[in-house]
């Protein structure tokens, strides 16, 4: 940790030379005083900085107290002048100890025009960030020299990157308790946009019309669990959604960036699935090279259309929650981020050791994924396996209790979607041909051919329901069962 003395100096230690270096912390008291004086002189100056400046950005206790008092008075539609400030702060002991009324009068005497209020505010903010960066850098240096610290080097990198991400994210600067009035404003703004069917509010459109109608799109900060038994199409469903969200956006301002963590399949295998979907060719034929010249031309054309796709694939095996968080933060900082997909939950490695307690390990992972969704303000889709007990009962449709290492998965998820294909199970019960049973079986197969169900078993934002989808296993593509409008 850094050492900070009463004179606002940050002291760092150069271990290699055993020398103490002292520098003035970056601050500009003149700019702070000028801004506060301008606001007191003319409250309109506050409008120029209220959207980005906070009281903790100021370098001294007295300036923080006065700015917070100005903010609260003006926010209540009252005039903030020397008289109202005096009344507001007369019982504040910290205000009295740090200069009090004499300091307030000094500010008013040196008040300037409001013309430069925004520039002063931006300077104060910049200097605040610099002071924070100094603290982060000092902690980094001290942690690196402290070889007795149990934290590994990669853990130090993770912590430093987290702190830098928070500094670069404007929203994180103002985290903490908020008044209900502030929350209500944002809530009503959300409701108004939803009423007008704003894309910003209904969430990311998955490209599956009926599914979007049921869930309202993929909402920011939500953890979405997509679960199913093997061969139900979980990975195909995830790649379809990822592609649909990133494709065909001519307006650069509305481009969506998706990062896909594939712990099971390689990035080339995922790319093959997406190209298969676009070109309308069997992914198996693409892998084996069983293509005609016309098919290969389709493949080339399809790949050309995917070059600018804002889909990033990370196929590093056995990633931990910390690694996923670090890489997602880096992605958001460098490119922007709208969706995280994880394939799949049970392959994530825990940051801790639980002596073979897989339930505790999964609990840590799901809590971590939900924390990532909230921190980065993006939806997180995590695929999950189901337990084998589904196969042991007559009704194969999944239930929440079928989630492997259940409990924490169900608890932490905002949305749980089960994928189910009756055709898969029915195909394995074919009776002998030429019998009455075979005719009945054939009739049933025709009804469920290429039909999949997305069973919404938990929905924190609405009712549980079920959506029937079209699934083409040859090109691993999900689509609407019938054409409908959104």
Task: Show the 3-state SS of the chain.
Answer: CCEECCCCEEEEEECCCCEEEEEECCCCHHHHHHHHHHHHHCHHHHHHCCCCCCHHHCCCHHHHHHHHHHHHHHHCCCCCCHHHHHHHHCCCHHHHHCCHHHHHHHHHHCCCCHHHHHHHHHHHHHHHHHHHHHHHHHHHHHHHHCCCCCCCHHHHHHHHHHHHHHHHCHHHHCCCCCCHHHHHHHHHHHHHHHHCCCHHHHCECCCCHHHHHHHCCECCCCEEEEEECCCCCHHHHHHHHHHHHHCCCCCHHHCCCEEEEECCCCHHHHHHHHHHHHHCCCHHHHHHCCCCHHHHHHHHHHHHHCCCCCEEEECCCCCEHHHHHHHHHHHHHHCCCCEEEEECHHHCECCCCCCCCHHHHHHHHHHHHHHHHHHHCCCEEEEEEECHHHHHCCCCCCCHHHECCCCHHHHHCCEEEEEECHHHHHHHHCCCCCCHHHHHHHHHHHHHCCEEEEEEEEECCCCCEEEEEEEECCCCEEEECCCCCC
pLDDT over threshold 60, residue 9: no
Angle between helices 321-334 and 358-376 (to 10 degrees): 10
CA distance 44 to 70: 12
- Which of the listed ranges 55-69, 177-191, 292-306, 424-438 does the model predict with the highest average pLDDT? 55-69
* pLDDT single digits (tens) 379-435: 999 998 887 877 778 788 888 887 766 567 878 888 999 998 888 888 887 788 878
Which pTM does this prediction carry? 0.62
- Which of the listed ranges 220-229, 263-272, 352-361 does the model predict with the highest average pLDDT? 220-229
Q: What is the pLDDT of residue 192?
A: 64
Task: Give the closest residue to 121 by CA, choosing from 171, 177, 71, 73.
Answer: 71
Mean pLDDT of 56-77: 87
Q: What is the pLDDT of residue 349?
A: 79
Report residue 236 as tokens.
């195909």
Burial class (CB in 10 A: 0-12, 13-18, 19+), 223: buried
Beta bridge partners, 14, equal 19
Domains of the chain: 1-176 (1.10.860.10), 198-480 (3.40.50.300)
pLDDT over threshold 80, residue 57: yes
**Choice among 19-23, 96-100, 204-208 with the minimum mean pLDDT:** 19-23
CA distance 52 to 245: 31
* pLDDT single digits (tens) 159-189: 787 777 777 665 444 445 555 666 566 666 6
Task: Give the closest residue to 321 by CA, choosing from 151, 158, 171, 152.
Answer: 158
Report residue 334 as tokens.
């460098």
Report residue 292 as tokens.
């005609």
Q: What is the pLDDT of residue 5?
A: 37
């Amino acid at each position: 940790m850094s050492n900070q003395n009463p004179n606002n100096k940050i002291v760092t230690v150069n271990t290699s030379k055993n020398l103490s270096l002292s520098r003035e912390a970056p601050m500009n008291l003149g700019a702070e005083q000028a801004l506060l004086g301008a606001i007191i002189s003319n409250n309109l100056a506050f409008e120029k900085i209220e959207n980005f400046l906070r009281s903790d950005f100021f370098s001294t206790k007295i300036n923080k107290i006065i700015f917070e008092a100005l903010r609260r008075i003006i926010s209540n539609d009252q005039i903030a002048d020397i008289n109202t400030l005096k009344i507001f702060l007369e019982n504040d002991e910290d205000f009295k100890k740090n200069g009090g009324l004499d300091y307030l009068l000094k500010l008013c005497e040196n008040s300037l025009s409001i013309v430069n209020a925004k520039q002063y505010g931006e300077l104060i903010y910049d200097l605040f960030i610099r002071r924070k960066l100094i603290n982060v850098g000092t902690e980094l240096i001290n942690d690196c020299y402290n070889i007795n610290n149990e934290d590994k080097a990669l853990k130090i990198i993770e912590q430093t990157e987290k702190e830098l991400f928070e500094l670069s994210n404007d929203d994180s600067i103002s985290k903490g308790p908020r008044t209900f009035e502030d929350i209500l404003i944002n809530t009503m703004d959300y409701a108004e946009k939803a009423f007008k069917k704003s894309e910003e509010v209904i969430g990311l459109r998955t490209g599956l019309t009926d599914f979007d109608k049921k869930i309202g799109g993929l909402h920011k900060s939500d953890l979405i669990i997509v679960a199913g038994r093997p061969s139900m199409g979980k990975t195909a469903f995830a790649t379809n959604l990822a592609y649909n969200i990133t494709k065909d956006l001519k307006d650069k301002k509305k481009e969506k960036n998706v990062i896909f963590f594939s712990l099971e399949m390689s990035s080339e295998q995922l790319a093959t699935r997406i190209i298969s979907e676009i070109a309308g060719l069997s992914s198996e034929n693409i892998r084996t090279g069983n293509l005609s010249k016309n098919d290969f031309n389709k493949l080339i054309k399809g790949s050309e259309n995917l070059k600018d796709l804002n889909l990033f694939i990370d196929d590093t095996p056995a990633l931990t929650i910390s690694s996923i968080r670090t890489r997602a933060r880096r992605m958001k900082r460098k490119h922007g981020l709208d969706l995280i997909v994880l394939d799949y939950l049970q392959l994530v490695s825990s940051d801790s050791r639980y002596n073979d307690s897989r339930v505790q390990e999964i609990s840590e992972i799901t809590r971590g994924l939900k924390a990532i969704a909230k921190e980065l303000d993006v939806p997180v889709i995590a695929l999950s396996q189901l337990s084998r007990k589904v196969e042991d009962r007559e009704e194969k449709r999944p239930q929440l209790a079928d989630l492997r290492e259940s409990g924490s998965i169900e608890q932490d998820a905002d949305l749980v979607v089960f994928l189910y294909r009756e055709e898969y199970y029915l195909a394995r019960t074919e009776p002998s041909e030429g019998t009455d049973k075979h005719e009945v079986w054939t009739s049933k197969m025709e009804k469920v051919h290429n039909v999949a169900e997305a069973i919404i078993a938990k929905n924190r934002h609405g009712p549980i329901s079920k959506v029937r989808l079209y699934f083409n296993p040859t090109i691993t593509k999900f689509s609407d069962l019938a054409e409908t409008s959104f």
